[in-house]
Amino acid sequence: MRQVKLTGREASVVRAIGFAESMLGAEIQDHVRMESEDVTDTLNSLMAAGFVESIPYAEEVQLAEMPVTAFELNPAYTHELKRALVRS
């Protein structure tokens, strides 16, 4: 398994989503206190890497859709993401 490296913004978003349940984009934005454009870009990069999945599934989320879209961590990367958060 590859070693996961997260940027500060990515780590903040992963912490906000958590490992138990999905979270709406608006809740993530409230938790991380970032601009909606930054949250959307960060979520799209995490989705492109396969670390985060949207509900309903989409390869990329648009700025207007982000607040009402639910996101969850990909269970296949749970252990690697937890290790990455400890390192960051």
pLDDT number for residue 54: 98
Asked if the model's pLDDT at residue 2 lies above 90, the reply is no
Residue 60, CA atoms < 13 Å, CB-side half-sphere: 4
Q: For 13-72, how does the pLDDT look when each residue is reduced to its tens digit (9 = 90+)?
A: 999 999 999 999 999 999 999 999 999 999 999 999 999 999 999 999 999 999 999 999
Is the bond leading into 56 cis (omega within 30 degrees of zero)?
Answer: yes
pLDDT number for residue 77: 94
pTM, two decimal places: 0.94
pLDDT number for residue 1: 60
Every domain of the chain and the residues it spans: 7-59
